[in-house]
Amino acid sequence: MIHLKINYEASLAIVEREVEGELLSLVAVAAAAAVAAAAAAVAVAESVAVAVAVALALALAVAVEVAVEVAVEVAVAVAVAVSVAVSVAVTVAVATAAEAAAAAAVAVALSVAAAAAVAVAVAVAVAVALSVAAAAAALAAAVSAAVAVAAAVTAAVAAAVAVAVAAAAVAVAVAVRVAEAVAVAAFCFFVLEVFVV
């Protein structure tokens, strides 16, 4: 019994030492894993910090570049606006000068046109006066011609009347002679009829 008890205690002590060794091994492994996890966490934190720093630097660089570009574009837009304003002012000045020159040219042209119109009106008046004079002369000539024609017609009518009267007289004389000849012939025929019978 004593021997078995000793063996049992010895075996129990061996098992306890093995269990303690296993536990120590597990604790060492867990500690090593915890240290590795902490190192990994530190590395990840460092990587995150580096990434954040890089992102901030990139964001700052992009923001600066965008701001510079915007400033340049604003400056260019301002310069363009100033140039456009200057061009508009120059154009307005040139247009004003051109408009004044055009107005002067139009005034000169209107003066020339008015002078030409006056000259044309005078020429038309002269032509109308000459036409009226010519028409008056033509009317006088026409009146003279009408009077001459009327005189000629009157003379012709008188001549025709005279010829008609003379022809009528001749016709009457011829008719009388013919009647006399017929009467003589009738008398002779009557005499011959009486005496021959």
pLDDT at 104: 85
Q: What CA–CA distance (Å, rounded) separates 186 from 32?
A: 198
The pLDDT tens digits of the residues spanning 4-22 come to 455 556 666 676 676 667 6
Rounded CA-CA distance 8/183 in Å is 224
pLDDT at 1: 47
Distance (Å, rounded) from C-alpha 120 to C-alpha 129? 14
The one-letter amino acid at 82:
V
Tell me the per-residue pLDDT of 107-147, one tens digit each, with 9 for 90 and over: 888 888 888 888 988 998 898 889 888 888 888 888 888 78
Of residues 159 and 186, which shows the higher confidence score?
159
**Chain mean pLDDT for the chain:** 79
* CA–CA gap between residue 59 and residue 53 (Å, rounded): 10
CA 89/CA 15 separation, integer angstroms: 107
Q: Which amino acid, one-letter code, is at 150?
A: A
Cα distances (angstroms) measured from residue 36 to each of 11, 23, 147, 170: 36, 19, 153, 178
Tokens for 114, please give them: 């008015």
Report residue 42 as tokens.
């530190």
